[in-house]
Structure 1
């Protein structure tokens, strides 16, 4: 598998890069600053919005771990990637926001609906970004973290997956580490279970 990781110097991207290399995948890092990479891999040093269809054509899958404080960027990012990949067999996985998940199986409220008013705008932008994928013709997967996404949590190798409803363990804790999210993402890339649908991950 030829895999491109957009944002490979970020926390999620770096964790995924480590897992992908450990599994001997053919990985290319797409980053704005190649000097921030801590491993030697093929690199495309470009701003995401400067990527072209030709840049992404060689890859079987593109994993986007883009993060920005400017929430209105998220729909634009997904639209740009859709524009680049439309008409190709390349699979697109996007790590999005847990605010888009429903709270329970009744599916009447999302996590974003429970946030303070000042934060709800960002959850709406993430929903718009997700909808860009859902209305595309791509082989897409939108991956939403649980309530607590832990940069320094352990790598247990154990997790559960779902679709559009927030997951929790037997104690009601909705969490996962970056390390285990990376395992789940690479597992999904190698053994697809959530093509053209939503995906969420949490510890059991």
Structure 2
């Protein structure tokens, strides 16, 4: 599999990069400047500079883009949706747990339970997700939201459960996962698609 990673400088992107290499995937990284491991190709561009020609030969693009400019999230979604349309390249986009519903009744999102000062980021993530969902382009996409507790320093357990758009909880009642286990779920989904043109979330079981 030929995989391009956007956002490999961040914790999620790095975790996916490491696991993808372990599994023998052919990996390229999109970044203006970044030191990449041996065997990884650098595409020295920003996400907004990418063209169809840059990505059309990849089997999949994993977008783990992160920015303090929250208004960029819908822009990234719109741009990638446009340049990947009709290419056959799959887009897997990492989103935010705040876009998930709190229960199966689907009456309230996690964002609505957060302090008002934090809600702008949630609105931008939701707008980015809706661009994928509402696209009429021929595009194979998956939007993946982590749970609310996303733990950078916790090692892998090798286990996770998968849902769609409702916050998942483990046996202890926590909605949590580590970066390595989230990366495991992402790479598994890339290699063995189960959630094409769909929302996806994961958490520890």
Same fold by TM-score greater than 0.5: yes
Matched, 1:47 2:46: yes
Aligned to 1:86: 85
Matched, 1:32 2:32: yes
* TM-superposed deviation, 1:153: 1.1
Aligned to 2:176: 175
How far apart, in 2, do the equivalents of 1:46 and 1:151 lie?
27
How far apart, in 1, do the equivalents of 2:124 and 2:26 lie?
32
Aligned to 2:142: 141
Aligned to 1:56: 55
**Unpaired runs of at least 5, structure 1:** none
Task: Give the secondary structure class of the aligned counterpart of 2:3.
Answer: strand
How far apart, in 1, do the equivalents of 2:37 and 2:177 lie?
24
Task: Give the secondary structure class of the aligned counterpart of 1:124.
Answer: helix
Aligned to 1:2: 2
Aligned to 1:14: 14
How far apart, in 2, do the equivalents of 1:105 and 1:140 lie?
23
* TM-superposed deviation, 1:57: 1.1
Give the alignment of 1:104-143 within 5 angstroms. 104-136=103-135, 137=137, 138-143=139-144
How far apart, in 2, do the equivalents of 1:23 and 1:81 lie?
26
How far apart, in 2, do the equivalents of 1:174 and 1:76 lie?
29
Matched, 1:150 2:151: yes
How far apart, in 2, do the equivalents of 1:41 and 1:120 lie?
37
Which deviates further from its counterpart, 6-15 or 100-109? 6-15
The Cα offsets for residues 58-100 of structure 1, whole Å up to 9 and x where unpaired, read as: 1010000000111110000010101110111110000000000
The Cα offsets for residues 102-149 of structure 1, whole Å up to 9 and x where unpaired, read as: 000010000000011111121111110001111123110000000101
How far apart, in 1, do the equivalents of 2:103 and 2:25 lie?
36
How far apart, in 1, do the equivalents of 2:148 and 2:109 lie?
12
What is the number of residues matched between the two proteins? 203
**Unpaired runs of at least 5, structure 2:** none
Tell me which stretches of 4 or more aligned residues in structure 1 moved more than 6 Å: none
The alignment's TM-score, normalised by the length of structure 2, stands at 0.96
Task: Give the secondary structure class of the aligned counterpart of 1:34.
Answer: coil
Matched, 1:203 2:204: yes
Aligned to 1:191: 192
